[in-house]
Amino acid sequence: MAEASPELRKIGIIGMGYVGLTLAAAMAKRGYEVHGVDTQPDVVDSLNRGKPHIFEPGVEEAFATLVGERIFVGSELPESGVDAAVISVSTPVNLDTHEPYLGNLAAAAEHVAKRCSPETLVVVRSTVPVGASRKVVLPALVDAWGSARLVMAPERTIQGQALRELVELPQVVGGLDEESLQLGLAMFGGLSAQLVPVSTLETAELVKLTNNCHTDVIYSFGNEVARLTQRFGLDPLEVIRATNLDYPRPDIAKPGYVGGGCLSKDPYIMLAAGSSAGYAPPLISAARTVNEKTPVHVAERVVELMGSGKTLTVLGWAYKGWPPTDDMRGTPIASMMPVFTEAGITVLGHDPLVGPAVINHHGGAPVDLAEGFAQADAVLIITDHPEYRKLDVDGLLAGSNVKLLFDSWRILDEKSVTTHGVRYAGLGYEPTGAAR
């Protein structure tokens, strides 16, 4: 892995969300001069003070050290332009129609066209439908410049390990032409240990969608197994452990919630792209449906198992607990809360990283762990955050009114719970248990 390419050392990154923020930190650490762009003044101000607005291990340290030296953040790219402009804006899907919104992508392309030149390498890093780099980004550049250097280089990191994976994971790069491709490889060669050149922009776009949709499908099968074991009165973890043990085929995933900024929307981007080409992949659609219904199903089971109980403490409001994150995109609680509200249940909330204001915004009353157990009739653990794996079950349950503990990821010792007369349950696992 080389140091920053001398021809492409001044990098602009449009969009300081999770993708742009982590890339900025990683590239600055490798010696690039990074100019971040965001339309939100509070984000720009916070980053210029070395205070990232998103939690990711290592990012705050990078910004605190390198802001003003190799990281500069503003509302626009510098007037002098940049050697490469990376578009990493959000591409959300409509909650009702599930159609991707590409307005941010188009606006970013227009901004690059205005502030840069034909010599600038333009990199699409946002997740987009197949064909969007060519159909949405390229026209703005060609209209302004007459020609363009354009590559698609998808981000494929996992939250909680992004800075390591940006260096270690293979970086896929697809170019508009050979010149663009070689420039893209030169730029990312200063960051990634392994480069994977592909033949077209569209190939690189489909690589990202394929990665995430495949993950969604894998997880959905584990959730299907859990729905079956619940009906059969079996333990899904026992079934899956026995299925996987020393068996030379792909492992079955544990049941669990599937959310986040990518898995909750990228399947819909794939479906939209496929539909525009005359084929809507039914497996991808079915997997997304299974995973989206899982939190609702759990909420309904919790309500039923609570019986006459009216106070529920929910542990874990971010979309996942490991690696730890404060990301609320695709969080299970969003689809659970309507079920709890309709049932007249008061929801108390705790999360090691998600702040009280966010819990309030989503309909919960923030509490610490001791308060949550002391006031609840039931406890629902949504994430497998390390703090929850170390819960003092005996201390928290002793003397409490908790009658049900629904441990979604099965991170606690069942006997430690049931010893207190509390019913223990999990995804697809509802053994008959004594309840006070």
3-state helix, strand, coil in the chain (%, to 5): 45, 15, 40
Dihedrals φ, ψ of 338, to 5°? -60, -35
Q: Is 435 a residue whose pLDDT tops 50?
A: no
436: pLDDT strictly greater than 80: no
Digit-coded pLDDT (tens) for 113-144? 999 999 999 999 999 999 999 999 999 999 99
Find where tokens 């019913």 sit: 423
* Nearest alpha carbon to residue 298 among 382, 224, 220, 241: 382
Q: Which amino acid is at 269?
A: I
For 334-371, the pLDDT digits (tens) are 999 999 999 999 999 999 999 999 999 999 999 999 99
Q: CA-to-CA distance for 37 and 16, rounded, in angstroms?
A: 6
What's the confidence (pLDDT) of residue 432?
79
Percent of the chain with pLDDT over 70: 98
Q: Are strands 149-152 and 171-175 parallel, antiparallel or unpaired?
A: antiparallel
User: Predicted confidence band at 434 (pLDDT cuts at 50, 70, 90)?
Assistant: very low
Q: b/e string for 226-258 if b means 16 or more Cβ within 10 A?
A: bbebbeeebbbbebbeeeeeeeeeeebbbbbbb
Cα–Cα distance, 109 to 91 (Å, whole number): 13
In the prediction, which pLDDT does 2 show? 47
- Residue-wise pLDDT for 248-272, tens only, equals 998 999 999 999 999 999 999 999 9
Asked if the 212-436 domain carries CATH number 3.40.50.720, the reply is: yes
Amino acid making up residue 327? D
* Helix segments in 307-349, DSSP class H: 332-342
Q: β-strands 378-381, 311-315: how paired?
A: parallel
Phi, psi (deg, nearest 5) at residue 373 = -75, -35
Structure tokens at 129: 């439908």
Confidence check: pLDDT of 3 > 70: no
Q: Which residues contact 93 (CB under 8 A, 6 or more apart)?
A: 99, 100, 101, 265, 268, 269, 272
Q: Is the Cβ–Cβ distance between 267 and 213 less than 8 Å? A: yes
- Taking the domains of the chain in order of start, what are their residue ranges? 10-202, 212-436
- pTM for this structure? 0.93
Contact 287, 416 (CB under 8 A): no
CB 109 within 8 A of CB 137: yes
Mean pLDDT of 163-171: 97
Banded pLDDT at 6 (limits 50, 70, 90): low
One-character DSSP codes across 100-135: BP-HHHHHHHHHHHHH--TTSEEEE-S---TTHIII
- Per-residue pLDDT tens over the stretch 58-79: 999 999 999 999 999 999 999 9
CATH 3.40.50.300 fits 10-202, yes or no: no
Mean pLDDT score of the chain:
96
- The answer to whether 10-202 and 212-436 have equal CATH topology is yes
For 363-387, how does the pLDDT look when each residue is reduced to its tens digit (9 = 90+)? 999 999 999 999 999 999 999 999 9
Which pLDDT does position 398 carry in this prediction?
96
Q: Is the pLDDT of residue 217 over 80?
A: yes
* Structure confidence at residue 202 as a pLDDT band (50, 70, 90): very high
d(CA 28, CA 69): 9
- What's the one-letter identity of residue 433? G
What string of DSSP letters covers 342-399? HTT-EEEEE-SSS-HHHHHHTT-EE--HHHHHHH-SEEEE----HHHHT--HHHHHTT
The reported pLDDT for the residue numbered 4 is: 52
Q: What is the pLDDT of residue 7?
A: 78
- The region that residue 81 occupies, defined by phi over 0 for left and psi between -120 and 50 for alpha, beta otherwise, is left
Once rounded to an integer, what is the mean pLDDT over residues 27-32?
96
Assign 5 a pLDDT band (cuts: 50, 70, 90). Answer: low
